Chains A and B, each alone.
Chain A
Amino acid sequence: MDILRFITAGSVDDGKSTLIGRLLYDSKSIMIDQLEAIEKQTKNKKDGEIDLALLTDGLRAEREQGITIDVAYKYFSTPKRKFIIADAPGHVQYTRNMVTGASNSDLAIILVDARNGVAEQTRRHSIIASLLNIPHIVVAVNKMDLVNNSGDVYNNIVIEYAAFAKSLGLKDVKYIPISAINGDNIVEKSDSFPWYEGSSLLDILETVEVANDINLKDARFPVQYVIRPQTEALHDYRGYAGKLLSGVFKTGDAVTILPSGIESKIKLIEIGGKEIAEAFAPQSVVLHLENDIDISRGDTIVHSDNLPTSSNELEVLLCWMDNKPLVAGNRYLLQHNSRIVRAVVKEIQYKLNVNSLDEEQAPEKVSLNDIVRATIKTASPLVFDSYKKLRTTGGAILIDETSNVTVGACMIQ
């Protein structure tokens, strides 16, 4: 049993909350008292049926306005998997929320309204999924009941989307016809689509292979914390605590500490106080090195024959997440795993149209939800990989030092 983290992209109008409610309800993850609370609220609304969307709309403001304004996390499990859903709103003014939810997802469910086909919103969600490098995509064509469960309508949508997915370079795309409101093809395969040969949505979610998405080639170990008991018995103990973000380490491996470039060998690897011969991503471990070197939080340990890029100039795709606009020349803190450095946004090359992927002229001021291509200069060198190669060492955030708010998400190119 493992974990699948997925994001549902779509708006209330696409039936996104209903889909999530349906997955939770039909997989028996909703408890009686939670259902009763929903029933009580549903009575105050127009429809007579239970409003499954109420399950995910957590905050009062959302319930009052009937919209989803933030990322909510929902959990359910089957005997095969534990699922973590990042439920993010889909309108263009919530691009930052979708980017946030997508950053940790293994899979994205892109909801398409069967009546509208591949719409502007569908393209936007797919573009964001590709920018955030989500490995697996499921296109769920919803509201099939409103197009008489027509196989022709469905097939036309699949053909149109497939061409678009190819242009985006999306690799693993699956398609499924559903009706979230009726529960068709959600948990059980439905009789409503005799022309559909695939399995149910839950079955797809249970079986999509995610273990291979973890990079076991390029070892990257940012040091988070140095364990030094300094007791009599453990006088010389010096352990570097951190999470192996990718790759494998074995005792005896030749390693380099970045950014200093000092070389050493792995003497010992510990996990939860036990010695192990090798560690692999995404384990949290403690490393001991042969030599006594000055290593602290923010340093990265890698294999000497497999080095990441070290540079103080980064080319990034930047999603702006703050109400205050970004202007070229602004200074921020850049947080990249355990390292925080001062940074300045030197130049903004172009703005990406998230509905079409067109490169548009760089705006004077970059606004909330804009995605731009920019050059960032850091005060000291950063150790990174391209986001396309490694999501874990290719992503960074910008922090406004005057407000401490996270204002930008950088995907290093």
Chain B
Amino acid sequence: MTEKRLDYLEQLESESIHIFREVAGQFEKPALLFSGGKDSIVLVHLALKAFRPGKFPFPLVHIDTGHNFKEALDFRDTLAAEINEKLIVRSVEETIKKKNLTEPKGKFASRNALQTYTLLDTIEEYKFDVLIGGARRDEEKARAKERIFSVRDEFGQWDPKLQRPELWNTYNGKITKGENVRAFPISNWTELDIWNYIRREKIELPSIYFAHDREVLEHEGQLVATSEFITLEPEDKISVKKVRYRTVGDMTCTAAVQSAATTIDDIISEIIATKTSERGETRIDDKVSEAAMEDRKKNGYF
């Protein structure tokens, strides 16, 4: 008889599947936020394990800022079609037009803050009572304190001081009308766990996660892809470099890393050797203030 013990990835996987099934069992109208980034791709993979051969008890939802990488969007559409699940895309661009919102200005004008409007409208439109997301607690200090079932008020706001205690494997999903829950099945995974799992399960990823040639500009030590969304100035240093993406967000606020890694093994070696955190290396929007993420979360950001 084989030894009955799970290794750490199997333990994480089982915990995540359990959370997925709790969401499906406790809520009426769930949705899975799916961007085509690696964490949400892993979520979809876990959902397949949780619910197949049945259909997902929820649609995939993407809040498209209009500043996304084409490779990620293509991957998003292909995967949704392949697994034959419903994909709902709502556009920040349209929200801006419809609500006369002011576009942020500046060199790397990010629509990150405006995303919240579209997200809340989409929740309203479909009456979603829970959104499943791929946030991990190792990403950032404010996330380290967030529950696996995290309750938001009708404005989407998170109150870190009024969180429900979360004990054992019991998740309290009770809410009143207007409130909704953000559920995070991969809360306990780290960046390295995600990559090791992708390797073990042979999960496919968009090509931008692997080294490729790209025209970038250097900004305060970070490499940002040139695109129509970024205002270039004459003094900008632009060059073609071999890069890959460690995270995939908006083109305006996601930096690339210089890399020659063309396989998952290469990427894992680089991540083990790196001295900079995932968000620190690749996110331009977190550096504004020490509590940047906490503030955005309180305002209804994911």
* B partners with A: yes
Using CB atoms and an 8 Å cutoff, list the residues of chain A in contact with chain B.
Answer: 1-3, 31-34, 37, 40-41, 56-61, 63, 69-75, 77, 81-82, 84, 96-97, 99-100, 103-104, 211, 214, 216, 224-225, 227-229, 234, 237, 239, 241-243, 245, 248, 272-273, 280, 282-284, 297, 321, 333, 335-338, 391-392, 395-397, 399, 401, 404-406, 409
CA separation between A33 and B140, bound complex, in Å? 12
Using CB atoms and an 8 Å cutoff, list the residues of chain B in contact with chain A.
Answer: 4-8, 10-15, 17-18, 21-22, 24-25, 48-55, 57, 137-138, 141-142, 144-145, 151, 160-161, 163-170, 172, 174-176, 179, 187-188, 190, 192-193, 274-277, 280-281, 290-291, 294
Evaluate contact between A69 and B161: CB separation under 8 angstroms.
Answer: yes
Evaluate contact between B168 and A395: CB separation under 8 angstroms.
Answer: yes
Nearest-Cβ distance from residue A32 to partner chain B, whole angstroms? 5
Nearest-Cβ distance from residue B293 to partner chain A, whole angstroms? 10
9 nearest CB pairs, A to B: A33-B280, A58-B141, A31-B277, A404-B174, A284-B17, A224-B21, A103-B167, A280-B4, A272-B49
Known: A3-B8, A32-B275. A406 touches B164 (CB 8 A): yes
Chain B CB within 10 Å — which of A239, A272, A337, A391 has the most?
A272
Evaluate contact between B164 and A224: CB separation under 8 angstroms.
Answer: no
Evaluate contact between A273 and B53: CB separation under 8 angstroms.
Answer: yes
Known: A75-B190, A409-B165. A59 touches B8 (CB 8 A): no
CA separation between A3 and B11, bound complex, in Å? 8
Q: A2-B5, A216-B4, A273-B48 are in contact. List 12 more A-B contacts (CB 8 A).
A: A33-B276, A34-B277, A58-B144, A75-B190, A99-B165, A103-B168, A227-B51, A227-B53, A243-B21, A273-B49, A273-B53, A404-B176
Nearest-Cβ distance from residue B238 to partner chain A, whole angstroms? 25
Residue of A nearest to B16 (CB): A284
Chain A hits for B281, CB < 8 A: 33
Chain B hits for A239, CB < 8 A: 54
Known: A33-B276, A58-B145, A338-B25. A100 touches B172 (CB 8 A): no
CA separation between A159 and B15, bound complex, in Å? 40
Q: State the total of A-B contacts with C-beta under 8 angstroms.
A: 179
CA separation between A409 and B172, bound complex, in Å? 12
Evaluate contact between B21 and A2: CB separation under 8 angstroms.
Answer: no
Evaluate contact between A75 and B188: CB separation under 8 angstroms.
Answer: yes
Evaluate contact between A273 and B52: CB separation under 8 angstroms.
Answer: yes
Chain B hits for A297, CB < 8 A: 25
Nearest-Cβ distance from residue A74 to partner chain B, whole angstroms? 6
Evaluate contact between B138 and A242: CB separation under 8 angstroms.
Answer: no
CA separation between A278 and B290, bound complex, in Å? 50
CA separation between A7 and B188, bound complex, in Å? 15
Nearest-Cβ distance from residue A145 to partner chain B, whole angstroms? 29
Chain A hits for B294, CB < 8 A: 58-60
Evaluate contact between B165 and A284: CB separation under 8 angstroms.
Answer: no
Chain A hits for B13, CB < 8 A: 284
Known: A392-B169, A404-B174. A59 touches B25 (CB 8 A): no
Nearest-Cβ distance from residue A86 to partner chain B, whole angstroms? 11
